[in-house]
A and B are shown apart, each in its own frame.
Chain A
Amino acid sequence: MSIQVVLPTAFTRHTDGRKQFDSTAANLPALLAELDQTFPALATQIKDENGKLRKFINIYINDEDIRFLGGDSYAFQDGDEVMLIPSIAGGRR
């Protein structure tokens, strides 16, 4: 089982410029754990001090927001395209 992870340019300074890479992670928590090993600087950028995905990052699975698919419990399917993208604006203040 393999998925393709897609990153916007904003995240590629920590991936040697790579905008996509393959992964065998079974779900989102596993993917985030994998990033600690493969791209630790990217992991620091997108995860908070508690190891949780920062609230300003959206995850899309084949163009669908992962929250519509069950969030962390969604089991990646072979060939899934997983996109990490900043939420662009807003803030919580």
Chain B
Amino acid sequence: MFQPSLLSRSEESPMNYSNPSYELACTECGKRFGNQPLSACPDCVAPLEVVYDLLSAKGVFTRDSIARGPASIWRYARMLPVPEGFQPDLPVGFTPLVHASRLGKRFGAASLYVKNDAVCFPTLSFKDRVVAVALANAQKFGFDTVGCSSTGNLANSVAAQAARLGLKACILVPADLEPAKILNTLVYGARLIRINGNYDAVNRLSMQIAGEYNWGFVNVNLRPYYSEGSKTVGYEIAEQLGWRLPDNVVVPMAGGSLIRKIRKAFQELIFLGLVKKPAQPVRFFGAQATGCSPISVAVKDGVDDIMPQKPNTIARSLAIGNPADGAAAAKMILEDGGWAEDVSDVEIVSGIQEMAETEGIFTETAGGVTTAVTARLYAEGRIAPGETTVVCITGNGLKTTDALAGRFDHLDTCAIRPRLADFDALLRSLDAEPELVAAN
């Protein structure tokens, strides 16, 4: 239960503040810390998480109050850690929930939905949500420079939103990141530093840098705030389903935070009476690439101990071999009767194509993972056809076009003269060919 902060307003400094609705708490020893840029308990080193005064939100955070809010994540601001007086000006989130009937037909699913964060504003991934919340706090703490370690989408979002807020940005990425994600970071004027190593090495360095420089690293010292932004995916799913919860949610897993926060959002909505508690808990299904599947492996083994892996997959946005929230993600998946699966790079590309061909949604490689895993879950009978299932698509395919390079060359016809006769002849020749499918 929520306990009042030990921090009084008179003790506030630029690097801490009190808020009557939320504060940081240690996930192990429970100690409270008010609000400050801190991600680990100074006493027991366990992670810190934002806790809320849920009782005070009852009757305040309602369907009506939400409906009166803007068409963005800020309609849920009462249940996000955003400082008093914060004035959001970017319409982040509130992305479409699409009834995916054509994709569902392929999978044998009658009630399949796609939560489409491939069109999230401003940088076309769900990371826009977490960054928006993190930077609200970065400003409150007085940081003039923000940063992150990133597999790409986060880099894009930090760079863009920092530019909008007039903050400097320093972003660390693995040296072999997709060219589009590099470009989509540099264009905003951010300082981008490539590191020779995988994401886990980059993340380790970020941790050291955050201790040396007075910067707000969104996924290091601002992480407890940052990660809360992911809850808005869960709020939106419930609201867009008409204030009810789905039976299943399929979520891509990199660090393992998103899947946990969607569940946290559902639990809060139940506690606050905005949705009915389902007879069976919502089941969560985690999706990973086989080339980086530490959480999936743990779930399949029925344990929540994560053995790190060295990533080797085209799904680079999911290529975190030592996932920070992996143990917690595995534990919650198992607790609620869900499952985790992983798919090969070939299946990932097929998943991208399947989503595009059926629903007109072009997703990045992570979305290919989620789509291919969903197909398998139906095929194996882990999800029943009549259950309401939401597939979370978290990023846009325009950022990872290199994964599809050359795959459609055989479908690209030669150029013809601007003559109707030439067009007719070409069409006849194409119709005469066997059905064209993308090469595997």
A contacts, CB < 8 Å to B: 8-10, 13, 45-46, 48, 54-58, 60, 63, 65, 67-68, 83, 85-93
Q: Which of B208, B220, B223, B257 has the most CB of A within 10 A?
A: B208
Which of A48, A63, A90 touches B325 (beta carbons < 8 Å)? Answer: A90
* Residues B45 and A91 in contact, CB atoms below 8 Å apart: no
* Residues A89 and B211 in contact, CB atoms below 8 Å apart: no
Residue of B nearest to A67 (CB): B308
15 contacts between A and B (CB under 8 A): A8-B208, A8-B211, A9-B212, A45-B42, A54-B44, A55-B327, A56-B45, A86-B45, A88-B207, A89-B227, A89-B325, A90-B326, A91-B27, A91-B325, A92-B304
Having A88-B219, A89-B255, A90-B256, one finds 8 other A-B pairs with CB under 8 Å, namely A9-B211, A45-B42, A85-B207, A88-B207, A88-B324, A89-B227, A89-B324, A91-B28
Q: How far is the CA of A67 from the CA of B326 in the complex (A)?
A: 16
Q: How far is the CA of A8 from the CA of B208 in the complex (A)?
A: 6
Chain B residues within an 8 Å CB radius of A55: 327
Given the known interface contacts A8-B211, A65-B308, A86-B207, the answer about A91 and B46 at a Cβ–Cβ threshold of 8 Å is yes
* Residues B223 and A89 in contact, CB atoms below 8 Å apart: yes
Given the known interface contacts A10-B40, A58-B322, the answer about A90 and B211 at a Cβ–Cβ threshold of 8 Å is no
Given the known interface contacts A10-B42, A58-B322, A67-B308, the answer about A93 and B207 at a Cβ–Cβ threshold of 8 Å is no
Which of A63, A67, A86, A93 touches B40 (beta carbons < 8 Å)? Answer: A86
* Residues A93 and B328 in contact, CB atoms below 8 Å apart: yes
Render B306-340 as a binary contact track against A, CB cut-off 8 A, 1 for contact.
01101000000000001111111001000000000
Render B204-218 as a binary contact track against A, CB cut-off 8 A, 1 for contact.
100110011000000
Q: How far is the CA of A72 from the CA of B47 in the complex (A)?
A: 24
**What's the nearest-Cβ distance from chain B to residue A17, in Å?**
12
* Residues B46 and A88 in contact, CB atoms below 8 Å apart: no
Chain A residues within an 8 Å CB radius of B208: 8-9, 85
* Residues B204 and A60 in contact, CB atoms below 8 Å apart: yes
**What's the nearest-Cβ distance from chain A to residue B215, in Å?**
13
Q: How far is the CA of A65 from the CA of B323 in the complex (A)?
A: 13
Chain B residues within an 8 Å CB radius of A88: 39-40, 47, 203, 207, 219-220, 223, 324
Chain A residues within an 8 Å CB radius of B256: 90
* Residues A89 and B44 in contact, CB atoms below 8 Å apart: no
Chain B residues within an 8 Å CB radius of A46: 45
Q: How far is the CA of A48 from the CA of B211 in the complex (A)?
A: 24
Given the known interface contacts A87-B324, A89-B227, A90-B326, the answer about A56 and B47 at a Cβ–Cβ threshold of 8 Å is yes
* Residues A57 and B328 in contact, CB atoms below 8 Å apart: no
**What's the nearest-Cβ distance from chain B to residue A41, in Å?**
11
**What's the nearest-Cβ distance from chain B to residue A84, in Å?**
10
Chain A residues within an 8 Å CB radius of B255: 89-90
Given the known interface contacts A54-B45, A56-B45, A68-B308, the answer about A92 and B327 at a Cβ–Cβ threshold of 8 Å is yes
Task: Decide if B302 is an interface residue (CB 8 Å cutoff).
Answer: no
Task: Decide if B142 is an interface residue (CB 8 Å cutoff).
Answer: no
